[in-house]
């Protein structure tokens, strides 16, 4: 099953930052909104329940976040031949 990193939009600098949470899902996609994955049942609310903020490396601030500001990004296999 594919692995996905969860990233969140930072309102302090306008960029996406890694939340350092990785989930394994049955569906395969490159990028998907967390809110869409929750709505369709691909992602369980318990998998993101503890994610309430993202640390911004550009400002040094902890920024509040919620599911409609997060995306799932497929983890690239670094061992894969190109």
pLDDT in the model for residue 33: 95
Starting at the earlier edge strand, list the strands of the sheet with 3-9.
Answer: 16-24, 3-9, 70-74, 31-33
Residues 6+ apart with CB under 8 A from 71: 6, 7, 8, 9, 16, 31, 32, 33, 34
5-25 confidence digits (pLDDT tens) = 999 999 999 999 999 999 999
pLDDT of residue 12: 94
């Amino acid at each position: 099953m594919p692995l996905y990193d969860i990233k969140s939009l930072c309102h302090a600098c306008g960029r996406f930052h890694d939340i350092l949470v990785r989930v394994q899902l049955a569906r395969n996609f490159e990028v998907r909104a967390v809110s869409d994955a929750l709505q369709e049942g691909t992602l369980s609310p318990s998998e993101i329940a503890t994610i309430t903020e993202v640390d911004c490396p550009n400002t040094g601030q902890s920024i509040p976040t919620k599911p409609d500001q997060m995306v799932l990004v497929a983890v690239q296999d670094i061992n894969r031949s190109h």
